[in-house]
Amino acid sequence: MARTTKIIQDFRVFVGTWNVGGRTPPDGLNLHDFLQVEGSSDIYVLGFQEIVPLSAGNVLVIEDNEPAVKWLELINEALNRAQSRRNSSFSSSESLRGSKDSRSHFFHKPSLKVLSRNLRGDNALLKACNCHLDSQPAGKRRPRRHSETADEFLSMDELSSFPNAMRFCLVACKQMVGIFLSVWARRDLVQHIGHLRISCVGRGIMGCLGNKGCISISLSLHQTSFCFVCSHLASGEKEGDELKRNADVAEIMKSTQFPKTCKNPYRKAPERITDHDRVFWFGDLNYRVSLSYEETRLLLEDNDWDSLLEKDQLNVEREAGRVFCGFDEGRIFFAPTYKYSHNSDSYAGETVKSKKKRRTPAWCDRILWHGKGIEQLSYVRSESRLSDHRPVCAMFAAEVEVRSKSITRFRKGYSCTTRLDC
């Protein structure tokens, strides 16, 4: 029996967060620069907040999935743009066509479920234990059969050309009212991803509804576990509101529990957030600056961000050990990301006469991490004027434990076959 050795390999992970203020993205919105596609990350993790207005209808009645569909299409277009240009037969709208007659089976109303299925990479064991795959020859892995009755999938002719147009495949996506989280991976990595599980915790109205809270996605890449937490915490800039946000984090930590899926007696898939080898927590954390509007504006005019960051509530609360214990955050070299006037580079207080409507500029949108083997390569914000928040993104090098056989197959050019029926 051949001896299996384990090797540490670095993978690049892109994490982005954006509170889009309930605004549906316009047609043609270019996410290419925001996603830093030229940086060639291996995994892309995108978290959005307020993709729908937080109205009573969206919170209490039914979620509006149409904005999520548009964001998913735009992300796919940005990540796979080079390939989709080469293959003129592919477009996001075509991914919604049925398998029989495209005219009779075209979805006039966008379907998040259908589109996400059509963008996913093929891994029959993605949501279960795949620990044995490294020792199983690639040619003997049993693929999932294409559904013969589900008209929502692509035709076999489309299947033959569609995978070649996709450099990145969707691993998972989930919406909870206004929070939307999606994880994408390089096509050849999908076969090495398993133990996929999703957990949602509502912390909004009555302390349980989904207008605030988090979505967490847990997965394993080769032999290393990852957890991605996208959260929208309690709002407010009154004194003491930071304690509500601390309470949200504590409750999320307590309530998030992933189901058991691993059947390997020698390996246990993590069930809690901080049980994972690598954790990335991001979103509109809503921590403010504990200064008056006037004091903050004076420091901003002098670009004295260091003095402002000393009064940043998240920094203060973390240093005091009251929240995010054991988490790290890179140094901030960008201006506060909230609150901007609509379609403007001016903070809300500069153009709003009413003191009730102005907000003290703050770094509400943040990205933190937990665990060893993580190096932050960049931490920046983008300059889109779509909402009253600026998007924030970070690039990481994350160590992953890889079996030597897996690396050998990868170097010989093996890759997964991207099918759309998983």
| Tens digit of each residue's pLDDT, the chain (422 residues) | 556 678 999 999 999 999 999 999 998 898 988 998 887 899 999 999 999 988 777 777 677 899 999 999 999 999 997 544 434 333 344 444 333 343 334 445 668 999 998 998 777 778 777 675 544 444 444 443 333 223 333 333 433 344 456 899 999 999 999 999 999 999 999 999 999 999 999 998 877 787 899 999 999 999 999 999 999 999 999 999 999 999 999 999 999 999 987 777 777 889 999 999 999 999 999 999 999 999 999 999 999 999 999 999 999 999 999 999 999 999 999 999 999 998 999 998 776 666 777 899 999 999 999 999 999 999 999 999 999 999 999 999 999 999 865 444 443 333 332 222 22
Q: Residue 414 and residue 110: Cα distance in Å, rounded?
A: 34
pTM listed for this prediction: 0.84
Q: Are 342 and 386 in contact (CB under 8 A)?
A: no
Q: Residue 311 and residue 413: Cα distance in Å, rounded?
A: 51
Q: Are 183 and 234 in contact (CB under 8 A)?
A: no
CATH 3.60.10.10 given to domain 6-290+363-411 = yes
Q: Residue 325 and residue 318: Cα distance in Å, rounded?
A: 7
**Degrees, nearest 5: CA angle 373-271-113:** 95
Q: Are 334 and 359 in contact (CB under 8 A)?
A: no
Name residues whose C-beta falls within 8 Å of residue 155's C-beta, 6 or more positions apart in sequence: 97, 98, 99, 100
Joined together, the tokens standing for residue 75 give 């992300």
